[in-house]
Structure formats: structure tokens, C-alpha cells
């Protein structure tokens, strides 16, 4: 934490603007993903996913943590549904583990796997909670990775087949669908930096994976439209403002490259039906790269969606590698490891503003950046409905001697970002809902269990759940459909 002690910082992020009331019908929710919470990785015919394989490799995750047990949600389903009911948020977004449905990523459905999600959806509906289904949150069946994973075009057809199975099984009870969660992470953390499964480091493969993921989105969209004509379908992107450290041309060029990789590489094909020219040129020397694009693909990718899911945590500031010294002289701090520089061969260096508070992930807290990115989507891409499908923060929570978890920083973070949502609404953006990441502390990928994002503390050895102070705060917020003044 920079810029003061945390209890002084927390209120600073809680901006004091407006009445704090949300539009009627605003959808309040929380979100999780299968591998991060379910555990029971061998149960009822589930096959291995790339995250099972990856997390068991030495040094791949902090402390050697895996999702083998995670929050044990698979076996504690009913209790977790009761917890959601107690929270009172009207929606819950979860992901389906593809390897539970098709253990090897192809072939007939595993009915036991489908039954788990049928029970989950029925349990939500019985508690008057709207189910929102994510079809893919990073847990590709290992057999498909062995056949080339997202670098292979065949995976697109497999994803369409899997989507059809799920849509036929749940289509009469689920109306809101997210095809992919954060395809940028699947492509660039999975195939370029190797920080995520499958742990590959090859920029040409990451570019090809980007295209096949987007094509899989388009293919799934068609399947969903054909199978459930009334479905509301979107995709969840981790987009964020990227800023140059200075007005210098080199910093601005670095900023444009990072923006191209993180934002435009996804928004442009989805909403404009083309990849950005500068990114095509940037990756032209990397095979197979965007050479995998075939005639008609961009039409498939850019078919209209019903909403865009915005997953937002933090903005990023970058400088050119040649201007590190100037950035430091201007007061920026340069973290190690330097994420953006390693991602996507972008020739850029991430810098941090020392005066801005950060979460336990080291991510800068700037709620106004959420308003900014949503206004940008609205102004530059499309006026379609937006949902904030992920927003939240990891902090250094702990259970006090009295058994309470007073996560004031998280409340400050969420309050500030919800005010930023209201600012976007005030600026004319059609924001329909907001999902906190996450309702439970869970397996934070390469960070293992060291980062807690939950409204609920999970004691991992015993599985006990303890709602944090932010749980009660969110309960009041959704009940009032408004923030406290
Ligand atoms: O935990 C992740 C989630 O799986 C995807 N979005 C970001 C979260 C926090 O890092």
C-alpha cells in the first residue's frame, strides 16, 4: 500500500458523487468459475483439464497449489446456494467445466456432469436467483490441448459441439449466456507468457489462439441462437484504459501497442469485423499468427451480440523501454516482474504511480478508469447494453480474534467502482448490471490460494465459509439498489 496507511486510503477510493441510486431493474450479481471453486476433479466422470495438468507441474503455481479441492463447491453446492440466497443478489454467474461435460473434449455428453449444473441452475431458480452461464473460463479439456489446443482450428468445432450439448441441456432454464471469459488471458497468459495453462511461450501461437478463441465465440453464438432463440448472449472481455507515461512519441507508441494487444485486438473484430492493422503488422513475423484467419471468419466473429461483459480491475500506464529512466525521474515506479513488457512482445514497460493505492495483486485502484473504458466502448464501438461482469479486489484479509473479517478496503474499492458505474450511466452508457468477483475466496490461478477476492472468507483446510464485512455491505447495497451516501 502506497500513499498512507490502508485505513486512511480506503475512503479515498470511495468517491463522493451523486445520489448513489441505481436504475430500476439493475442486475446485481456475483461471479465464480468452475476450476477456481469446484474441486472434485475426478468426480462423476470428469476428465482432466489443462489447469489440472498445469497446476501439478513443479513451480507453475504459488506453493504448488492446485484446484483439486479448491472451495469444495461441487460437494457443498446446497450450502453455497443458501449463501447466495442470504446475500440477496439477484443473479449469479458461474462457468461450466467443459471436461465434466465431455471428458476428452469430444463425443457424447457425460450426463453426470450435466446433472451437476442442472442441480445448480434449479437451485438458483428455486431461490429466485437468475443464472448466468459462462461456457468457457479457461479449463480446456487436456485431450484437446494435446491435439493443439486453441492454436488448432479444430478446437473451434469442438467448442461449438460442446455448446450445443450444454444449450440443449440448460436452454429451457438459462437465458443469459457468456461464451468466453477473458479470451485475452487464455491466449496471451496461456500461450505467450506461459503464466497460465497450458504454459506455452510463443507469440505466434498466442496470436493464432486469439483468432480461434474469437472464432469459437462466433461459432457458439450461432449455436446458441439456433438452439435457444430467446437467449441473451455476450462475451466477457478484460478491457482497460492504457495510458502513456508521458506525451513523448515513444511512450505514446508503446501505449498504442499495449492498447492494441489488450483492447483493440478483441473489440475491433467483435464490433468492426476486422483486426487492427497495426496489430496485424506487429504479429506478421510470428507464425502461425493471424495467417490462420480464413475467409468468412470475421463475419462469424462480428455477428451482433446482445451485451458486452466488461471485466475491470485496474488501468495500466506504460512507457517505452528506452524511456525507463525518464519515467523514473518523473516519479513512476517500475515493478518487477514487468508484466506488460513480457506480454505480446509489445516493447513496452509497465509503470506505477506511487501516489495511487494498489490492491494485494499490485493493481492500481482508480475507479474512474472503469467509467472511462465503458464510455470508450459506447463512443467508439457500440451502444449495446454493458454489464460489469467482474470487478473486485484482493486484499490482505484476516480473521480477527473475534472471528470477524473487517475488509474495509474491499468495501472502499467496490463502493468506488459502483460510483464509477453510476458515472457511466450518467454519461449515457447503458449499464444493466454489476457482478462482484467473487462471492468466495478461491483458487487465484498461478497465485494459488494466496490472493483472496471473496465477499466470503473460505478456510481452505476445513472448507468453512465466513461472510466478511463486505458481504453485509453488498447485501445492503443490493437490497437498497443504492449506495449509502
Ligand atoms: O480470478 C480471476 C478470474 O478468473 C478472471 N478475472 C480476473 C480474476 C482476478 O484475477
Q: List pLDDT tens digits, range 266-290.
A: 999 999 999 999 999 999 999 999 9
Catalytically active residues are: 182, 390
Residue with CA nearest ligand 1 atom 1: 444
pLDDT attached to residue 336? 73
- Name the percent of the chain lying above pLDDT 90: 93
Q: Which atom of ligand 1 is nearest to the CA of 442?
A: 1
pLDDT at position 5 over 90:
no
d(CA 441, CA 298): 38
Q: Is the CB of 311 under 6 A from ligand 1?
A: yes
What is the SS3 string spanning the chain?
CCCCCHHHHHHHHCCCCCCCECCCCCEEEEECCHHHHCCCCCHHHCCCEHHHHHHCCCCCCHHHCCCCCCCCCCCCHHHHHHHHHHHCCCEEEEECCHHHHCCCCCCCCCHHHHHHHHHHHHHHHHCCCEEEEEEECCCCEHHHHHCCHHHCCHHHHHHHHHHHHHHHHHCCCCCEEEEEECHHHHHHHHHCCCCCCCCCCCHHHHHHHHHHHHHHHHHHHHHHHHHCCCCEEEEEECCCCEEECCCCHHHHHHHHHHHHHHHHHHHHHHHHCCCCHHHHHHCCCCCCHHHHCCCCHHHHHCCCCCEEEEECCCCEEEECHHHHHHHHHCCCECCCCCHHHHHHHCCCEEEECCCCCECCCCCECCCHHHHHHHHHHHHHHCCCCEEEEEECCCCCCCCCCCCCCCCHHHHHHHHHHHHHHHHHHHCCCCEEEEEEECCECCCCHHHCCCCCCCCEEEECCCCEEEECHHHHHHHHHHHHCECCC
| pLDDT, greater one: 335 or 1 | 335
pLDDT attached to residue 8? 34
Q: Which one-letter DSSP state was computed for residue 377?
A: I
* Centre of ligand 1 from the C-alpha of residue 481, in Å: 25
Sort strands 27-31 and 431-437 into parallel, antiparallel or unpaired.
Answer: parallel
Q: Is the CB of 441 under 6 A from ligand 1?
A: no
Q: Is the CB of 390 under 6 A from ligand 1?
A: yes
Residue 373 DSSP SS3:
helix
Residue with CA nearest ligand 1 atom 10: 444
pLDDT attached to residue 443? 99
Q: What is the per-residue DSSP string for 312-332?
A: ----EEEE-GGGHHHHHHTT-
Mutate to test the pocket of ligand 1, among 36, 339, 390 (most ligand atoms within 8 A of CB): 390
Which among 425, 384, 335, 319 is positioned nearest to 22, based on CA atoms?
Answer: 425
d(CA 196, CA 189): 5
d(CA 23, CA 6): 32
Across 100-126, average pLDDT = 98
pLDDT at position 335 over 90:
no
pLDDT at position 10 over 60:
no
Q: Residues 421, 426, 428, 432: what is their CA dihedral angle, to the nearest 10 degrees? A: 40
Across 186-200, average pLDDT = 97
Quickly state the pLDDT bin for 349 (edges 50, 70, 90): very high
- Grid cell at residue 39: 474441486
* Centre of ligand 1 from the C-alpha of residue 412, in Å: 19
Quickly state the pLDDT bin for 339 (edges 50, 70, 90): low
pLDDT at position 164 over 80:
yes
Mean pLDDT of the chain: 95
pLDDT at position 139 over 80:
yes
Q: Which residues pair with 279 in a beta bridge?
A: none
Q: Which atom of ligand 1 is nearest to the CA of 444?
A: 1
pLDDT attached to residue 19? 79
pLDDT attached to residue 278? 98
Residue 93 DSSP SS3:
strand
Across 196-224, average pLDDT = 98
Give CA separation, 328 vs 173, 248, 316, 324, in Å. 54, 14, 16, 6
Q: Which atom of ligand 1 is nearest to the CA of 185?
A: 5
pLDDT attached to residue 9? 39
How many CA within 13 A on the CB side of residue 297?
Answer: 20
- Grid cell at residue 308: 458486452
d(CA 322, CA 460): 45
* Centre of ligand 1 from the C-alpha of residue 185, in Å: 9
Q: Is the CB of 142 under 6 A from ligand 1?
A: no
Which among 411, 409, 432 is positioned nearest to 421, based on CA atoms?
Answer: 432
Please, are residues 278 and 257 in contact by the beta-carbon 8 Å criterion? Answer: yes
Q: Which atom of ligand 1 is nearest to the CA of 137?
A: 4
pLDDT attached to residue 337? 65
- Grid cell at residue 289: 499468427
pLDDT at position 4 over 70:
no
* Centre of ligand 1 from the C-alpha of residue 436, in Å: 11
Quickly state the pLDDT bin for 344 (edges 50, 70, 90): low
Q: Which atom of ligand 1 is nearest to the CA of 138?
A: 4
Which among 81, 29, 34, 90 is positioned nearest to 435, based on CA atoms?
Answer: 29
Across 108-135, average pLDDT = 98
How many CA within 13 A on the CB side of residue 340?
Answer: 29
What separation, in Å, do the N-terminal and C-terminal C-alpha atoms of the chain show? Answer: 26
Q: List pLDDT tens digits, range 398-407.
A: 999 999 999 9
Which among 336, 349, 342 is positioned nearest to 202, based on CA atoms?
Answer: 342
Q: Which atom of ligand 1 is nearest to the CA of 394?
A: 9
Residue with CA nearest ligand 1 atom 4: 33
pLDDT at position 12 over 50:
no
Q: Is the CB of 139 under 6 A from ligand 1?
A: no
* Centre of ligand 1 from the C-alpha of residue 238, in Å: 9
Quickly state the pLDDT bin for 3 (edges 50, 70, 90): very low
Q: Is the CB of 415 under 6 A from ligand 1?
A: no
Q: List pLDDT tens digits, range 213-222.
A: 999 999 999 9
Mutate to test the pocket of ligand 1, among 310, 453, 454, 458 (most ligand atoms within 8 A of CB): 453
CA angle 210, 213, 214 (to 5 degrees): 85
pLDDT attached to residue 345? 83
Residue that has been written with the C-alpha cell 468517491 in this structure: 15
Across 53-69, average pLDDT = 98
* Centre of ligand 1 from the C-alpha of residue 378, in Å: 24
d(CA 360, CA 217): 32
How many CA within 13 A on the CB side of residue 476?
Answer: 11
Amino acid at each position: 500500500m502506497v500513499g498512507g496507511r490502508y485505513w486512511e486510503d480506503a475512503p479515498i477510493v470511495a468517491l463522493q458523487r451523486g445520489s448513489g441510486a441505481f436504475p430500476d431493474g439493475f442486475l446485481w450479481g456475483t461471479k465464480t468459475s468452475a476450476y477456481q471453486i469446484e474441486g472434485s476433479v475426478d468426480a462423476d466422470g470428469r476428465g482432466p483439464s489443462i489447469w489440472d495438468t498445469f497446476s501439478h507441474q513443479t513451480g507453475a503455481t504459488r506453493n504448488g497449489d492446485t484446484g483439486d479441492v479448491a472451495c469444495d463447491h461441487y460437494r457443498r453446492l446446497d450450502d453455497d446456494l443458501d449463501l447466495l440466497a442470504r446475500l440477496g443478489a439477484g443473479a449469479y454467474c458461474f462457468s461450466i467445466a467443459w471436461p465434466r461435460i465431455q471428458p476428452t473434449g469430444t463425443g457424447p455428453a457425460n450426463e453426470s456432469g450435466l446433472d451437476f449444473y442442472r442441480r445448480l441452475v434449479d437451485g438458483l431458480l428455486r431461490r429466485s436467483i437468475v443464472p448466468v452461464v459462462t461456457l468457457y473460463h479457461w479449463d480446456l479439456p487436456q485431450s484437446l490441448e494435446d491435439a493443439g489446443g486453441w492454436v488448432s482450428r479444430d478446437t473451434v468445432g469442438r467448442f461449438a459441439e460442446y455448446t450445443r450439448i450444454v444449450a440443449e441441456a440448460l436452454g429451457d432454464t438459462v437465458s443469459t449466456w457468456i461464451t468466453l471469459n477473458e479470451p485475452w488471458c487464455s491466449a496471451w497468459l496461456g500461450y505467450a507468457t506461459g503464466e497460465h495453462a497450458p504454459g506455452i511461450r510463443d507469440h505466434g501461437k498466442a496470436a493464432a489462439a486469439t483468432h480461434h478463441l474469437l472464432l469459437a465465440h462466433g461459432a457458439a453464438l450461432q449455436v446458441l441462437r439456433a438452439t435457444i432463440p430467446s437467449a441473451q448472449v455476450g462475451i466477457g472481455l478484460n478491457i482497460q484504459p492504457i495510458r502513456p507515461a508521458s506525451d513523448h512519441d515513444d511512450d505514446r507508441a508503446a501505449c498504442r501497442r499495449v492498447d492494441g494487444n489488450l483492447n483493440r485486438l478483441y473489440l475491433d473484430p467483435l464490433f468492426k469485423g476486422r483486426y487492427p492493422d497495426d496489430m496485424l503488422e506487429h504479429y506478421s513475423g510470428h507464425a502461425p499468427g493471424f495467417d490462420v484467419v480464413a475467409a468468412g471468419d470475421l463475419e462469424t466473429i462480428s455477428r451482433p451480440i446482445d451485451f458486452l461483459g466488461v471485466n475491470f480491475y485496474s488501468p495500466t500506464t506504460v512507457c517505452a523501454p528506452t524511456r525507463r529512466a525518464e519515467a523514473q525521474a518523473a516519479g513512476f515506479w517500475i515493478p518487477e516482474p514487468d508484466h506488460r513488457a513480457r506480454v505480446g512482445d509489445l516493447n513496452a514497460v509497465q509503470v506505477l504511480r506511487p501516489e495511487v493505492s494498489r490492491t494485494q495483486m499490485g493493481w492500481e485502484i482508480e475507479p474512474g478508469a472503469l467509467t472511462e473504458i465503458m464510455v470508450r466502448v459506447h463512443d467508439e464501438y457500440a451502444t449495446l447494453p454493458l454489464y460489469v461482469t467482474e470487478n473486485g479486489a484482493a486484499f490482505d484479509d484476516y480473521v480477527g480474534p473475534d472471528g470477524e473479517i473487517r475488509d474495509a478496503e474491499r468495501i472502499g474499492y467496490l463502493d468506488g467502482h459502483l460510483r464509477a458505474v453510476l458515472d457511466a450511466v450518467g454519461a449515457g452508457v447503458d449499464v444493466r448490471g454489476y457482478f462482484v468477483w467473487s462471492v468466495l475466496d478461491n483458487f487465484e490461478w498461478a497465485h494459488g490460494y494466496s490472493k483472496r477476492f471473496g465477499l466470503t472468507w473460505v478456510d481452505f483446510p476445513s472448507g468453512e465459509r465466513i461472510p466478511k464485512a463486505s458481504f453485509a455491505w453488498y447485501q445492503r447495497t443490493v437490497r437498497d439498489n443504492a449506495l449509502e451516501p
